[in-house]
Amino acid sequence: MNKQTLFELLQQQGVSRRGFLKYCTALTSLMALPASMISTVAQALESARRPSVIWLSFQECTGCAESLLRSHSPTVEGLIFDHISLDYQHTLQAAAGEAAEHAREQAMKENYGNYLVVVDGSIPLADPGYSTIAGMSNLDMLNDTVAGAAAVIAVGTCSAYGGLPHAAPNPTGAVSVSSLIKDKPVINVPGCPPIPTVITGVLAHYLTFGSIPELDRLGRPKVFYGQSIHDRCYRRPFYDKGLFAETFDDEGAKKGWCLYRLGCKGPMTYNACATLKWNQQTSWPVESGHGCLGCSEPDFWDAGSFYKALSIPDGDYARAAGYAVASGVVLGAAAGFANQKTKSAAVSQHTKVSVDDFSLNQKDTNK
């Protein structure tokens, strides 16, 4: 743990008190905390020390790291990265081979009990040879590194749930971090990739409060994964009125109607895309006209076609829509629950995508 506080570091860089408050304002918003918490965040950061972070990449595509590192620095994400001590990340660090591994071991030794471990990628158990670093199996490196960690952040769906490597038939025996690490707090930050501001929001929370945020049943921070895409979707009023796009180029699609019947997985997906958005807050999949794929949920690769509509619990949609606004959230939640079951069935059968899934006539899929 670096001895300098964040405030001291910012001062050294010539950042004024107002600049520091601005930084705290952006962080508070990033952590989805109410604006009344800005002064609390400022007080906490004045005395916060830079945490050491060791980033391990296992069976992954580097998309999660790209999501974060390509996020238009110097934004808040850039600032956060400036204010942690990233002591090991084998894709980014200049050192290679033994020097790189030495950096990891040294960071562990110097910060034992206090450093954070970020993991992207799943861990193969079928044969350690599927993925090794410096001759060490991913499992050995994970266990070795996590031993002295304060907490582990599993970034991306692969490390949170196994992700694409875990998809049936799972040839490498890929598993998630949380299925292996039971004696340390594990924070899951799923998504394929996760929203960069969510990754940094979790780091910022630890940086600010020295603790992990409140988690849901799947180990995800509730501030970012507490509500479904569906419940926060700006197209939700159309769902409530029963107005759906039936194809990607029909009149409903042009008018921005709900994409539910085109396979949107919003009702069963918990993530913050609808509010945080992507690419400098330009847009997000639903705003760009494509349904949510459900990438922050376990086994989304095996959950059937991305273009197959979910079912809703009550077939008499017109009647349900009559209670639209008042019952909207309940209906959405019920639909989400019903479709969790459908998804489980699809996972067990490993439903494959066929050309029929891209059919322009999706009317029957809702029955």
Partner 1 sequence: MNIETFSSQTLADIKVQVESPEYETGNLHSILTEIKFSLQQLLEQKKSHTIDLRAMPWSPGEERKLEKYLGKGEVRTELDALGKSIFYETSYSGIWVVTHYSEDGVIIGKSIEVTYMPEMLFSQYEEVKDSLERIKEIERIEEIK
Of 108-116, 268-276, 299-307, 357-365, which part binds partner 1 (CB under 8 A)?
Answer: 268-276
Among 247, 275, 305, 311, binds partner 1 (CB under 8 A): 275
Of 91-99, 102-110, 207-215, 235-243, which part binds partner 1 (CB under 8 A)?
Answer: 235-243
Among 238, 270, 300, 301, binds partner 1 (CB under 8 A): 238
SS3 sequence of 128-154? HHHCEECCEEHHHHHHHHHCCEEEEEE
Q: By rule CB under 8 A, what count of residues binds partner 1?
A: 42
Does residue 165 come out as left (phi exceeding 0), alpha (psi in the -120 to 50 range) or beta?
alpha
Q: How far apart are CA 106 and CA 100, in angstroms?
A: 10
Site for partner 1, residues 347 to 366, rule: CB under 8 A: none
Minimum distance from CB of 276 to partner 1 (Å)? 8
Residue type, 221: P
Minimum distance from CB of 18 to partner 1 (Å)? 5
Token digits of residue 121: 């990628």
Among 211, 279, 349, 354, binds partner 1 (CB under 8 A): 279
Q: Which helix (H) or strand (E) holds 22?
A: helix 17-30
Minimum distance from CB of 162 to partner 1 (Å)? 30
Among 2, 40, 75, 170, binds partner 1 (CB under 8 A): 75
Minimum distance from CB of 150 to partner 1 (Å)? 28
Of 62-70, 262-270, 276-284, 346-354, which part binds partner 1 (CB under 8 A)?
Answer: 276-284
Strand partners, 85: 52
Q: How far apart are CA 140 and CA 53, in angstroms?
A: 18
Counting contacts by CB under 8 A, is residue 12 touching partner 1? no
Nearer to partner 1, 68 or 181 (CB): 68
Q: CA 243, 361, 356 angle in degrees (round to 5)?
A: 135
Question: Torsions phi, psi of 88, nearest 5?
Answer: -155, 125
Minimum distance from CB of 239 to partner 1 (Å)? 12
Token digits of residue 274: 């609808």
Of 69-77, 113-121, 310-318, 350-358, which part binds partner 1 (CB under 8 A)?
Answer: 69-77
**Pairing between β-strand 85-89 and β-strand 52-57 as defined by DSSP bridges:** parallel
Question: Torsions phi, psi of 41, nearest 5?
Answer: -60, -45
Counting contacts by CB under 8 A, is residue 15 touching partner 1? yes
Nearer to partner 1, 17 or 102 (CB): 17
Counting contacts by CB under 8 A, is residue 4 touching partner 1? no
Buried b (16+ CB within 10 A) or exposed e, 306-345: bbbbbebeeeeeeebbeeeeeebeebbebbbebbeebbee
Among 183, 280, 316, 361, binds partner 1 (CB under 8 A): 280
Question: What's the length of the chain?
Answer: 367
Residue with tokens 């950096």: 103
Q: How far apart are CA 221 and CA 225, in angstroms?
A: 6
Minimum distance from CB of 20 to partner 1 (Å)? 8
Residue numbers of the site for partner 1 (CB under 8 A)? 15-19, 21-23, 25-26, 29, 32, 34-36, 38, 72-76, 78-79, 232-234, 236-238, 254-256, 274-276, 279-283, 287-288
